[in-house]
Amino acid sequence: MTGGAFCIGLVIVVLVVLVIVEISYRLQWPDPHRAEFEAFNPGLVDEGAQRSTLLALGDSFTAGAGSWPSDLNSILGEDWRVVNGGVGGTTITHAERISRLRFRQYHPDVVVYQTYVGNDLLDLRHPREAKGAGVVRRVYWRIVDSGFFAPWFLNHRAAALAALVPSDPETAEAAVSAAFTVDRYSPRDRWLSRLHPYHVERQILVEGASMEAAWRQYRRGLSLLVERCRMSEADLVILVVPHCIQVAPIYRERFTALGARWANEDLLTRSPTPFVARVRETLNDQPSIRVIDPLPAMQQAESDGVRLYSTNDPHLTPEGSEFLAQLVATAMRN
């Protein structure tokens, strides 16, 4: 076989694999996130109609055996079963697909979709115009921004499979309690802050042509999720997790040290932000849908001395996860 024929054959094999993975992910068969799901829901069984079921969907703030759905399960008590369908690195387009399978499996009475101001729009429209991203990364971004799942899923599986790797308690504790340093902070946030300093502000304010395009894609995905809940007669709660820079000055100082910038600090910390306002406008005050904007409550908690976000990571501390769970539980009771 000549070198040219080998290359052609390799390209064909790669394309076939991508097509198979793409179709499989769109159909959610077989379950593409089974390993993570089982790790986040130990001992979960089909209980029929014995208890009301709450399905939690979201990204890395939701994914994990010790995240806010676990706290919520303890708060709600025996009358409720909380199913954690979170998957790290996802946004609304993934959640809408994942919900199809989880609806068939667990027939939820309530769905809580956790969305994050920090990267949910950016992951729908990556900063391809930013200098320093590299050709390969730009090509990858262009493909996934076009709505294809296969490259993202293969990257997701290759990157970590974090749910299958036992976490290191000392490392997790260091992220929460160790002193802040730029070199120790989340590598992705360091890189993005240098590559595109205004990326956080643009998402919070839904500012610029690329974020407007991302918002249109986000809105379509959200509308599909709303329709699925309506057809299944499930109530929907949208939980909007703010970026840490919105919550307290200390986090803004840290992101400034990383290289992030913003032109209007007042708008970033005001509730509701343009992102939240657009979500509410899309949902049009439907009685079966509740939008939780925890920003004011989180700002108050931080001012009272409760540390909600980790020192060297933009994710929540255990106290922050429990705080979110309490807010969701209050919304459920109301």
Question: Tens-of-pLDDT digits for all 334 residues of the chain?
Answer: 577 787 888 889 889 999 999 999 999 999 999 999 999 999 887 766 689 999 999 999 999 889 999 999 999 999 999 999 999 999 999 999 999 999 999 999 999 999 999 999 999 999 988 888 899 999 999 999 999 999 999 999 987 554 455 555 566 565 556 899 999 999 999 999 999 999 999 999 999 999 999 999 999 999 999 999 999 999 999 999 999 999 999 999 999 999 999 999 999 999 999 999 999 999 987 888 999 999 999 999 999 999 999 999 999 999 999 999 999 999 988 7
Residue 320 CA to residue 317 CA, distance in Å, equals 5
- Note the pLDDT of residue 248: 98
Largest CA distance in the chain: 71
DSSP element (H, E) containing 242: none
Residue 69, token pair as written in the block: 């759905």
Residue type for 224, please? L
Residue 241, token pair as written in the block: 């997790």
Question: Cβ neighbours of residue 171 under 8 Å, at least 6 residues apart?
Answer: none
Residue 148, token pair as written in the block: 């294809």
- Note the pLDDT of residue 163: 41
DSSP 305-317: T---B-SSSSSBP
Residue 279, token pair as written in the block: 């979500």
- Note the pLDDT of residue 117: 94
- Note the pLDDT of residue 309: 97
Residue 51 CA to residue 82 CA, distance in Å, equals 10
Cα angle 11-19-93, degrees, rounded to a multiple of 5: 130
| Three-state DSSP state, 197 | coil
Other CB atoms within 10 A of residue 196 CB: 21
Residue 131, token pair as written in the block: 């200098």
Domains of the chain plus CATH, in order, are: 25-333 (3.40.50.1110)
Residue 58, token pair as written in the block: 């979201």
Distance of CA 290 to the CA centre of its chain: 18
DSSP 31-54: -TTHHHHHHHSTT----TTSSEEE
Q: How many residues does the chain have?
A: 334
